[in-house]
Amino acid sequence: MPSGSENLTSLITGCRALAQGLEKAPGQGAAWKAKAEELLKSLEGMQGKFFFKTIPSVPPTKATLAALAECQGAKDKAAWKDFPTALANFEKSVADLAYKATMPGTQIT
């Protein structure tokens, strides 16, 4: 089973791939690419956090990977009507992961 830090690395790689060429999508392509790049910066900012070295990081990183896969699937199939919903789900998942990475309520002694 991959660790939280390995999942985070996969998320960064996958988000980078998602952003590539997204500006060519019809309609909101440029805005979607900008959002994907914003999410990529957020994920890259999480690197090195202690949270990703712990077991509790695995479920939220797996959930975020699933949301990313949904986005990538919509992009790969050119299912552009489904893409905004998938991107919104991925954005929410990244926000949840960023919050959990702060380890609220946890004191390390």
Q: How far apart are CA 30 and CA 94, in angstroms?
A: 20
The answer to whether residue 105 scores a pLDDT higher than 80 is: no
Q: What is the pLDDT of residue 104?
A: 80
| 108 belongs to a structural domain | no
Mean pLDDT of the chain: 94
| 9 belongs to a structural domain | yes
What number is the average pLDDT over the span 16-25? 94
Q: What is the pLDDT of residue 40?
A: 98
Domain count, the chain: 1
Using CB atoms within 10 A of its CB, is residue 50 exposed (0-12), middle (13-18) or buried (19+)?
A: exposed
| 86 belongs to a structural domain | yes
Q: Which domain holds residue 46?
A: 4-101
* pLDDT tens, position by position, 49-94: 999 999 999 999 999 999 999 999 999 999 999 999 999 999 999 9
What number is the average pLDDT over the span 89-105? 94
| 107 belongs to a structural domain | no
pTM for the model stands at: 0.92
| 8 belongs to a structural domain | yes
The answer to whether residue 108 scores a pLDDT higher than 70 is: no
The answer to whether residue 43 scores a pLDDT higher than 80 is: yes
| 109 belongs to a structural domain | no
